[in-house]
Structure 1
Amino acid sequence: MRLTIQEARDLVHRTMLAVGHSDEDAGIITNHLMDCELRGQDYGGLARALSVVERIRRRPEGRKPISVARETPVSVLLDGGDQAGYLVGYRATVMGIEKAKAQGIAIAGMFNTWYTGMFAHYMEMATKEGLVAMAAGSSDWRVAPSGSNEALFGTNPMAFGFPSEGDPIIMDAGVSSIMMSEATLARRLGQELKEGIAYDAEGNPTRDPAEGLEGAFAVWGGHKGSAFGITIQLFGLLCNGALKPDPLSDCCLFLMFMKPDLLVDEATLRRQVSGYAETVRNARRIEQDKPVRMPFDRSARERQQRLADGHVEVADLVVEKLRNIIAEG
């Protein structure tokens, strides 16, 4: 279904209000999900709003306020209070940015939360303030290490952000062959997965996303991706996560923010980053119709195109379900 950007935004915002979020918190979640939608990541956009609602309804005992579990001038650890990770991640990022701007460098961590979202969103918040940033997020065991069909770590994205003279350079990638939100959307739409990326609960290869969600997903990048996944899971322990996380409420996120001038003048870094980016983009091509890209190039282009068009395409099923949630109140 073709929706105007404002229609899509209103649909998400009203859905978040319908499940008990304040207007401010509904706005924070809406901004994050719409950022995913505008970048062409439909599985993390309006479709993800359905998962947020389902998660809240599966744990109806209620959420607690986000609180500070530990804090110093250069660090903060947030107890998410079983709130959506979009909210906890936003607050951790805001606090981390404030501390880094005051002290030069800061780290932020969070636990007792779920659905931490697209880490590039947090990286862009930091780069807009002229900071270099990184993120590592762990979750419940969904991905099998290389050589196994048993889930032992999360999809575990990692991200890095660098300011430049133009768009920032942001890398954001998970270690799973498919992200949870992608598999969830495929299940909703009755689509099969690609061969070789999922196992059922008994360890048998499967293309059924429902079976994969109950079993395990293959790791991206073989033994190298597996090493990243295991290491990122350790960052979750650093953020007070459980050894074996609760599938519904134990995502963790580690964030680092740094002023470039701790090492090099910010203007110099921006100029050098931009210069290197152009060098990469102008690299000799193997296929002339396939340009060499910097991380974030596709994301930024997709967002610009959708903003210019003023519309997004959303699966009819997703729109119908969101409208039903709003109508139910």
Structure 2
Amino acid sequence: MNFITFTEEQLRNFTYSVFERMGCNDEHAKLATDVLIRSDLRGIDSHGVARLSGYVRLWEKQRINATPNIKVVHETPTTATVDGDGGLGLVVAPFAMQIAIQKAKQYGSGWVAVKNSNHFGIAGYHALLAVEQDMIGMSMTNASPLVAPTYANERLLGTNPICYAFPAGHHPPVVVDMATAAAANGKLEIAQRSNTAIPDGWVQDAKGQQSTNPNELKNGGSLLPLGSDKAHGSHKGYGLGATVDILSAVLSGANYGPWVPPFVAFLEPPTDPVGEGIGHFLGAMRVDGFRPVADFKNHLDNWIERFKGATTVDPDKKVIIPGEPEYAFEQERKLEGIPLIDVVVNDLNELATKLGIAKLH
């Protein structure tokens, strides 16, 4: 397994060229690029440029609309439902979050449900848009059914990530960004590329037995909810995943549960959809709707410092604040570049040849 390091600018230019070839306008191509590059910068390699081929294949199958007419279809002063017109979730979700932010500026909070969208990248990107406005951001999305509910041996839920982001003062934002499955599917993809086993508790095989084979999903297996099994709290992960599915899709009019269309192009969407596309749910809350912003930030800094100073079982380890590793990755990779595994680089260069754009070097 070899890594090749690229500058942020190199990957931005390449990614923009891909979206432009798909037919995205300049604004949408730049926005979609920013979402993917932010993922790679933050060390979430499974959701960065490695996903480009997947978006292109769905576009070729006419399951992604590169020129969507994104619009509000239902609205109150503090809420809205957005129809993404089959567009890139990388574009649709920021559009919806900006609506939530504008409503929060006027009324204190804003909440937007989205239907008829696609994979929206990392949840943290969208929640952090609110943090930039001294707001608390929330974002979540449902996803392709890969997760079996507690006690089940049937894929009914997606990895259904959820994110909360909070603005701090002297410290980076606190960003709780996680899948509600025991592991995101992207982590299995990374293990597949490196041909390594995965930890116990991530997946079960077609017979419902836990497995360490990263290819288990291809063999009829399923991901497990956060907690892995009932004894270790999988019912809580199942509950969180269900919450995401209901807010993102049952509320918006998107597909939910086993009807969510797959991200991979070689699998066809269900022939009996219960809604439109994939769903998201985004929210923004003004901090000063509860207390002065400076007071909140001072106390969140104090919270961070107290937790960082906690006595640990291993003196060589410290408590990690949610979002801290990603922030550290971002600072490092902006200076030193973004490493990509050679398998991903080869895939991207094959994509470049197909689209007639310059390869990565």
Structure 1 length-normalised TM? 0.92
Residue in structure 2 matched with residue 326 of structure 1 by the alignment: 352
Q: Larger deviation: 214-223 or 299-308?
A: 214-223
Q: Is the 8 A contact 1:206 1:212 kept in 2?
A: no
Of the candidates 335, 341, 348, which is equivalent to residue 315 of structure 1?
341
Q: Is the 8 A contact 1:150 1:203 kept in 2?
A: no
Residue correspondences, number: 328
Q: Distance in 1 between matches of 2:191 and 2:83?
A: 32
1:80 aligns with 2:84: yes
The structure-2 alpha-carbon separation of the partners of 1:322 and 1:18, relative to structure 1 and needing over 3 Å to count, comes to farther
Q: Is the 8 A contact 2:169 2:301 kept in 1?
A: yes
Of the candidates 149, 162, 173, which is equivalent to residue 168 of structure 1?
173
User: Counterpart amino acid of 2:224?
Assistant: A
The structure-2 alpha-carbon separation of the partners of 1:47 and 1:60, relative to structure 1 and needing over 3 Å to count, comes to same
Secondary structure of 2:163 counterpart: strand
Of the candidates 223, 226, 247, which is equivalent to residue 238 of structure 2?
226
Structure 2 unaligned residues grouped into runs of 5+: 228-233, 263-275, 356-361
The structure-2 alpha-carbon separation of the partners of 1:44 and 1:284, relative to structure 1 and needing over 3 Å to count, comes to same
Secondary structure of 2:11 counterpart: helix
Percent of matched pairs sharing the same residue = 25
Q: Larger deviation: 69-78 or 238-247?
A: 238-247
1:240 aligns with 2:246: no
1:198 aligns with 2:222: no
Q: Is the 8 A contact 1:107 1:257 kept in 2?
A: yes
Q: Is the 8 A contact 1:47 1:185 kept in 2?
A: no
Q: Is the 8 A contact 1:195 1:207 kept in 2?
A: yes
RMSD: 2.1
Residue in structure 2 matched with residue 127 of structure 1 by the alignment: 131
The structural deviation recorded for 1:108 is 0.9
Q: Is the 8 A contact 1:69 1:77 kept in 2?
A: yes
User: Counterpart amino acid of 1:18?
Assistant: R
1:37 aligns with 2:64: no
Deviations 1:60-110 (A, max 9, x none): 685542222212222221111111111111101111111111221110111
Q: Distance in 2 between matches of 1:62 and 1:255?
A: 21
The structure-2 alpha-carbon separation of the partners of 1:49 and 1:185, relative to structure 1 and needing over 3 Å to count, comes to farther
Deviations 1:237-262 (A, max 9, x none): 11222344332473211112111222
Q: Larger deviation: 259-268 or 178-187?
A: 178-187
Q: Distance in 1 between matches of 2:114 and 2:64?
A: 21
Q: Distance in 2 between matches of 1:182 and 1:276?
A: 30
Q: Distance in 2 between matches of 1:12 and 1:220?
A: 32
Q: Is the 8 A contact 1:116 1:251 kept in 2?
A: no
The structure-2 alpha-carbon separation of the partners of 1:117 and 1:73, relative to structure 1 and needing over 3 Å to count, comes to same
User: Counterpart amino acid of 1:181?
Assistant: G
Deviations 1:294-322 (A, max 9, x none): 1111111111111122x111122222222
Q: Is the 8 A contact 1:140 1:250 kept in 2?
A: no
1:257 aligns with 2:284: yes
The structure-2 alpha-carbon separation of the partners of 1:35 and 1:133, relative to structure 1 and needing over 3 Å to count, comes to same
Q: Distance in 1 between matches of 2:72 and 2:253?
A: 13
User: Counterpart amino acid of 1:180?
Assistant: N
User: Counterpart amino acid of 1:293?
Assistant: I
Q: Distance in 2 between matches of 1:301 and 1:205?
A: 33
Q: Distance in 1 between matches of 2:154 and 2:163?
A: 25
Structure 1 unaligned residues grouped into runs of 5+: none
Q: Distance in 1 between matches of 2:18 and 2:226?
A: 34
User: Counterpart amino acid of 2:130?
Assistant: A
Of the candidates 177, 183, 191, which is equivalent to residue 178 of structure 1?
183
The structure-2 alpha-carbon separation of the partners of 1:215 and 1:68, relative to structure 1 and needing over 3 Å to count, comes to farther
Q: Larger deviation: 175-184 or 43-52?
A: 175-184
Q: Is the 8 A contact 1:14 1:326 kept in 2?
A: no
Residue in structure 1 matched with residue 296 of structure 2 by the alignment: 269
Secondary structure of 1:106 counterpart: strand
User: Counterpart amino acid of 1:23?
Assistant: D
The structure-2 alpha-carbon separation of the partners of 1:34 and 1:142, relative to structure 1 and needing over 3 Å to count, comes to same
Structure 2 length-normalised TM? 0.84
